Amino acid sequence: MAMAAVAAAAEAQVERPSNSILLLFPILPPFEEALSRKYHVLRAWESSMPTHEFLAAHARDVRVLVCSGLRPVDSATLQRLPGLECVVSSSSGVNHIDLAECRRRGIAVTNAGDAFSQDVADYAVGLLLDCLRRISASDRYVRSGQWSQQGQLLGQKGRKLSGKHVGIVGLGSIGSEIAKRLEAFGCRIAYNSRTKKASVPFPYFSSVCDLAAESDALIVCCALTDETYHFINRDVLLALGKEGVVINVGRGALIDEKELVRCLVQGEIGGAGLDVFEEEPHVPQELITMDNVVLSPHRAVLTPESFTALLEVILGNLEAFFSNKPLLSPV
């Protein structure tokens, strides 16, 4: 018998705890330690077996898969886990999970819920302020010594945020927090989402293109789905106009990046603040050279506070699942 088969047979004979959870790839060490204190954690990457053999050896034991947004959970992986009942994701977006297969199998899916909402909202407003007031560009101007050589940047004063018309694409938990913050600046808010929200006082636009046409800035924070892929296309960007600014704290593919670059190069929109990109960590070279573009390495959620909140959501979802109670953040 081959060594891998022997290892698989040996693992299959071991009596497994009823609270086994599967990790296909490493997650943050504090998270892994917290999970290990309460659950029997199966770490696929630590096995000497190929992943598909490891999954076969544990197929009858795994009821829960814990994953991040960095690796796909595709149908092939799900099909190797016939006993799987729940996928617990540490990200807000779930475009990395084959939701259709989960629905077909009756597998519950959870995400980060509201754990990231306040931090991402803060960051979105920060990007918008930076774009309008040229804060990062001014910082580079000072650090390079140009201020002492050339004087004030009188031709690049920037524009104020107060009173601006801001369109929010996706008025979920993050979008709602962004709206709260912008109201304090006296901004006039409108939004686009899948459906109109009955309890929301802001004007609703069923067309994102129409929303852009009425906005000085467009903040994109909706989920990435088949329907929202390249949701912000050339028509939307042109509707936003030459003074308009687009901010993306959702997923890179929500914006047609090639068209965004083209519109910025041609001066057809006023600027952009981007925390996400289509081919991360690749960033188009044209964006790097532009002072009206603020770039960030997908870090809007990276605060100690958000990690603490996320861990609470993950542990809460696991506790609810194993206790047969309602999940905290079902998708």
Give catalytic residues, as residue numbers: 251, 280, 298
Judged by DSSP in three states, 220 sits in strand
Nearest to 67 by CA among 50, 84, 83: 84
Judged by DSSP in three states, 88 sits in strand
Pairwise CA distance, residues 279 & 208, whole Å: 24
Taking 3-state DSSP, the helix, strand and coil percentages for the chain, each rounded to the nearest 5, stand at: 40, 15, 45
Pairwise CA distance, residues 172 & 220, whole Å: 11
Pairwise CA distance, residues 153 & 136, whole Å: 13
Which residues lie below 8 Å from residue 19, measured CB to CB, with a gap of 6+? 38, 39, 40, 322
First to last CA, the chain: 44
Strand order in the sheet with 271-274: 188-192, 165-169, 217-220, 245-248, 271-274, 293-295
Which residues lie below 8 Å from residue 279, measured CB to CB, with a gap of 6+? 252
Pairwise CA distance, residues 158 & 175, whole Å: 25
Q: Are 248 and 276 in contact (CB under 8 A)?
A: yes
Phi, psi at 273, each rounded to 5°: -125, 115
Taking CA atoms, 131 is separated from 22, 105, 320, in Å, by: 42, 45, 42
Nearest to 81 by CA among 98, 56, 107, 48: 56
